[in-house]
Structure 1
Amino acid sequence: MRYPGATLTIDLDAVAANWRTLADRAGTASCGGVVKADGYGLGAAKVASALSGAGCRHFFVATIDEGIALRKSLPGDAVIVVFDGLMAADTAAEFDAHSLTPVLNSPGEIKSWSHHATNGGNRSAFLALDTGMNRLGLSPAEVEVIAEKPEFLDGIEIACVMSHLACADEATHPQNSQQRQLFDALRAKLPAAEASFANSAGIFLGAEYHYDLARPGAALYGVSRGCGAPEPMQQVIGLKAKILQIRIVDTESTVGYGATRSVPANSRLATVAAGYADGYLPSLSNRGFGFAAGVKVPVAGRLSMDLTVFDISNVPPDAIAPGDHIDLICDRQTVDDVADAARTVGYEILTSIGSRFTKHYTGTGT
């Protein structure tokens, strides 16, 4: 993009450092990396390359299309696991063609993969168990059926049995141990295989949650666990939007659609080139903040599709001009700070960031 209105800076060295921190916390378990949703909006190819350079060998995506795209950016020995599984029986050959590993989430997928494997296709797959999320994965009753009929798994090599924690960001929540106990009980009914249970927050719950393979996602990108504990993760992104115009209002006026914000006479307003179409969430209307010349400035009025107005009345007039930038995410305002203002979570902030932002990468991750 020749004339960017806003720039998203992504520190690949910070991504790699965060992975190393998480890998260290995971102890004897291997540590993978979740790069679904285009690397949480930051560019899966670049992020995965940085993680690979740091030593990561397991990569998790949501869909087969994400896996096919990612395979081009990783060495041949990298394991790419597709959370959403086969999605259709006729995709099995595509998994083989691109060296992807499916997560089998249902008896139907197991049947399809068994047929594929016994007819000369790849045998390796992850097996998902539902231990309390009530999303994807085999129910306890379905595991019982498989335990009674082991031929159900004919041809399949279970590389790993996995499940997902619902409340890992609350370290004392009783569901954490309840899920872990159910996970162990269900695994005992299946053929022996490695196990994966811990997401980002799960890594910090202790060694009993680590098993053989941890699957951090948001923490790689600097997002808080949300538990109030000190965070060892480095900030990964910065976001700044260009000032298109500065206006001094002559009389008391309102700003934006719906006239939801009134400002007094002589207020100075800066309009920047970022709005809700770019993923700067509309819930930041009259709630969000930026930093202009190092000064904290509030969002004034409702966000527009392509524009946001900030009240810069407290910024020295000679400190900022059209063409300069207002920092939306920076060292003084993290992804989680913005999420708090928007009444959401850091995951949504990252994955909402739009394609119109110019991405600028720093570091290599090695």
Structure 2
Amino acid sequence: MMSFPGISLEDLKKFYGELKDGEDNQRKFRDFISQEKWKLTDFQRWLDEAVQKKLSKEFQDIVTLLGKRLGFSVEFGYYSQVPGKTPYDGLWENEKLRIVIETKLGTWIRYDINQLGEYLDRVSSERGGNQITYGMYVVGQTEDLGPLSDQVRGNRYVNRIRIISHAALLKLVEICERTHLKNEQVSRILIPFDAVNVGELVELIQMLVEEAISREGPGLPPLLGSPLVEVPKVSRSSLSDLEEGDIVVCPSRPEGVDFLKRNQAWGFVRIRREPRYFALYVSSPIHAITHFGEVEKVAEPKDSRVANPEEYETYGVGKKVIQLKAGSLKELGDPITKGTQPIPQGIWYTTLSKFLRANTLDDLR
């Protein structure tokens, strides 16, 4: 879909005028930025402009809308006090969590932190339900959040309020979209951690590592390319006549198997060694090593049999292609499944002897 880099918030302001609660220009502006065609880079450009030009109302609405891209249902708030309403800037919700958004272009808060805390109590009381209500300041200034953090730490609502810069929020949206994080996982990043149970933080880090692993591989293939090659299915015991040697294990999403079959090669990876063998670990929902092959060479992408390598998502300078010997690729009839230990991030190595004996991935260490 098209992006329109020439449209600035100043241009929109000339068209819509000053945004005011309940007026038609407010609805039109919110409808405009809510269109599906806008890319994350458009929101980044607009937020940066809003900070630079002190466009607080536009900043408020765009920040609120970003919650939708994190998987929350969103509700725009109010620019000023409205009789009978809790004047929060925005609201993000899911089945378990409610986040009251308060936006600031700088880190000096004009009002007492208690104001946001009181909004939390009012929203929780008015709306009821089982959701836990938290507050979050989204701040335009990125250099020093210390003064605001100190104010929050000294407040009685400290356990219910969090702070994030707009730049960090944009990074979180990008991570979410690139790694397909679920809204429940995003919520665990945003809401306060149990300061006693550090295992919760460990679980979150492990989840992010596994999501990163699942992104390994070539990315989406070109529409045109070599046909898929039928791969024989064999047991690992049938490989016992091969000479002992190192195996490089490469992680992949399930769709990466098509790339492997189509090219009889794997890319694009940063690798310095030239191992004798190759194995493919397929991430969720498979969680197993499913394919094996003999390495012919580790080559620059342009010198490999992969057509148009620059068209793949993970192609990059310094990355190589592991090219397999013709006809050596095999699907394992007895794949090596995930054990109890965390899966290493990126490529890793084992030996053929361990590979042949392994019951789970734990046995390859």
TM score, norm. by length of structure 1: 0.28
Larger radius of gyration: 2
Instruction: Tell me which of the two structures has the higher relative contact order, counting C-alpha pairs closer than 8 angstroms and 6 or more residues apart.
Output: 1
